Chain A
Amino acid sequence: MTATQAPPGSTPPPPSKPTTSGLRSSGRGTGRHRDWARERSALRIELRMAAATVLTTWLAMWSWRGFTAEPGGFLGPLLLVALTVGLVGALARWRRVPGVLVVVLQALIGGVVVCLQVAGRPYPGPAFWEAFADAVHDANTYAPPVPVTATIDVVPLLLVSGLIALLIVDLCAGTLRRAPLAGLPLLTIYSVPVSLLGGGLSWPLFAGTAAGFLAMLFFQEEEHLTRWGRSLDGAGEPVRRMSDSLRGSAFGIGAAAVAAAVVIPMAIPTFNFSIFDVGPGGDGDGDIQVTNPMADLRRDLQRGEDIPLLTVRTDDPMPNHLRISVLNRFTEREWSAGDRSVPSSQLAQGDLPALAGVEAPVAEESATYDYQVEVSDSFDSRWLPTQAPIDWIRADGDWRFDTSSMDFLAGGEDQTTAGMSYEMNAVRLAYDDARLLDLDTQPAAAPSELTTLPDDVSKLQIEDPSGTASLETLTRRIVGGTTSDFQAAVALQQWFRKDGGFTYDLAKSPPEVGADELQAFLSAGEGGRVGYCEQYAASMAVMARILDIPSRVAVGFLQPDGPDVTGEANTYVYSSHDLHAWVELFFPGAGWVLFDPTPQLRVPQDILPTYTTADIGSEPLPTGTSEPRPTREPSATAPAPTRTSTPATQPQTAEPATESGSRFPWGWLVGVLVVIALVALLVRLPHVIRGRQRARRLSGGPEAAWAELRASALDHGRTWPEGRSPRETADVVGGWFGRRPGAEDHDDNERPAHGPGVDPDADAALARLVDELERARYSRGHVVEPGTLRPDVLACCAALSAGSTPRARRRAAWVPVSVLHRQDPAEHQSPEPPPDSEPVGSNARVDHI
Chain B
Amino acid sequence: MREALAGLTVRGRAFLAAGITAILCAILLGQPSLIRVGVLVVAVPLVTALVIGRSRYRLALVRTVTPQLVTAGQPARVNLALTNEGRTPNGVLMLEDHVPYVLGTRPRFVLDGIGHGWRRQVTYQVRSDVRGRFEIGPMTVRVGDGFGMVELGRAFRMTVPLIVTPRTVPLPVIPLGGGWTGSGDNRPRAFASGSAEDVTVREYRQGDDLRRVHWRSSARIGELMVRREEQPWQSRATIVLDNRLIAHRGQGIASSLEAAVSAAASIAVHLSQRGFQVRLVTAAGEDTATPWHVRDADLNIRTLLESLAVVSFDDRDRLDTSWMGEAAHGGLTVAVLGAVDQADAPALRRIVHHTAAALAIALDVDAWSGMPGNGGAAPFLTRSGWRAVALAPRDRLEAVWEDLGRTSAREGVGLENGIDPAVGAGVGS
Contact = CB atoms under 8 A, between A and B. Distances in A.
Contacts, number: 230
Interface stretch (A224-232, A381-389, A407-415, A473-481): A224-232
Contacts of B320: none
Interface string A221-244: 110111011111100100100111
Contact of A206 (B36, B63, B68): B36
Interface string A805-849: 000000000000000000001100000100100101101111111
Contacts of A222: 146
Contacts of A195: 31
Interface string B88-125: 10111011100000001101111111000001111111
B66 interface: yes
Given A3-B120, A190-B37, A825 B112 contact: no
A244 B88 CA distance: 12
Contact of B28 (A229, A236, A273): A273
B92 A246 contact: yes
B27 A239 contact: no
A261 B146 contact: no
B141 interface: yes
B148 A23 contact: no
Given A273-B29, A275-B30, A221 B146 contact: yes
The interface centre, meaning the residue of A3, A187, A826, A844 with most chain B CB atoms within 10 A of its CB, is A844
A843 to B, nearest CB: 6
A261 B36 contact: yes
A835 B144 contact: no
Interface in B1-45: 11, 14-15, 23, 26-37, 39-41, 43-44
Given A20-B123, A230-B109, A848-B60, A246 B40 contact: no
B402 to A, nearest CB: 37
A249 B123 contact: no
B145 interface: yes
Contacts of A236: 122
Nearest to B2: A820
Interface stretch (B51-59, B216-224, B308-316): B51-59
A245 B112 contact: yes
A840 to B, nearest CB: 5
B43 A256 contact: yes
Contacts of B125: 20, 22-23
Interface residues of B, number: 77
A265 B37 CA distance: 9
A838 B155 CA distance: 22
Given A200-B36, A221-B146, A20 B77 contact: yes
A390 B79 CA distance: 93
B157 interface: yes
Interface string B135-148: 00010010011111
Contacts of B58: 826, 848-849
A226 B56 CA distance: 23
B156 A253 contact: no
Interface residues of A, number: 78
Given A23-B124, A257-B44, A257-B47, A832 B85 contact: yes
B158 interface: yes
Contacts of A258: 40
A583 interface: no
Contact of A256 (B34, B47, B104, B108): B47
Contact of A847 (B41, B113, B123, B158): B158
Contact of A843 (B32, B47, B65, B144): B65
A847 B60 contact: yes
Contacts of B297: none
A195 B37 CA distance: 14
Closest 4 CB pairs of A and B: A200-B33, A243-B113, A250-B146, A229-B108
A194 interface: yes
24 contacts: A3-B119, A3-B121, A180-B11, A187-B37, A191-B34, A195-B31, A200-B36, A201-B33, A206-B36, A225-B144, A228-B110, A231-B111, A232-B111, A239-B110, A250-B145, A250-B146, A253-B145, A257-B47, A268-B35, A271-B30, A832-B85, A841-B79, A847-B60, A848-B58
Given A228-B108, A230-B108, A264-B39, A847 B124 contact: no
B384 to A, nearest CB: 46
Contacts of A626: none
A274 B30 contact: yes
Interface stretch (A79-87, A210-218, A449-457, A584-592): A210-218
A199 interface: yes
A252 interface: yes
A23 B104 contact: yes
Given A230-B109, A231-B110, A246-B112, A210 B40 contact: yes
B110 A218 contact: no
A242 B59 CA distance: 20
Nearest to B18: A183
Nearest to A194: B33
